[in-house]
Amino acid sequence: MCCPLILRQGGNVNMNKLNKFKLCGEVKTNITGKLLYLILDELADGGCEIIIPQRKISDALHVTKSTVSRNLRKLREAGYIEIVPQYRTDDGGRSSNKYIIK
């Protein structure tokens, strides 16, 4: 868990999940965007980064890939995440994006 909202609030990283959800509720977006932010935060490594296919997220949430893409874009525009394109080393083709939680 690396929710920067918690860290900015001076919270303990080991705080209970209810407080984590309350703080992440402050994310200024719709409910799908909040859920997406929580998922990225939960799955991110210690550096607040995760590489995950949008299709995998959409399958887990039972929403369309375009819904995931739209909400990721809104989170990026609001400054909650950074989206870094990734490329395969073998053929230079596109791979899943890296998401960095700010």
Which domain CATH number covers 90? Answer: 1.10.10.10
Written as six digits, the tokens of 31 are 């409910």
Burial of 8 (0-12, 13-18, 19+ CB in 10 A): exposed
Whole-number Å distance between alpha carbons of 20 and 7? 10
Whole-number Å distance between alpha carbons of 18 and 57? 22
Domain that holds residue 89: 4-101
- Regions of the chain where pLDDT drops below 70: 1-16
| Helix ranges, the chain (H) | 4-8, 17-24, 31-43, 54-61, 65-77
Q: Is residue 36 within a helix (H) or strand (E), and if so which, with residue range?
A: helix 31-43
Whole-number Å distance between alpha carbons of 96 and 84? 9
User: How many structural domains does the chain have?
Assistant: 1
Give pLDDT tens digits for 39-58.
Answer: 998 899 888 999 999 999 99
Predicted pLDDT at 15: 54
Predicted pLDDT at 25: 77
| Predicted model pTM | 0.79
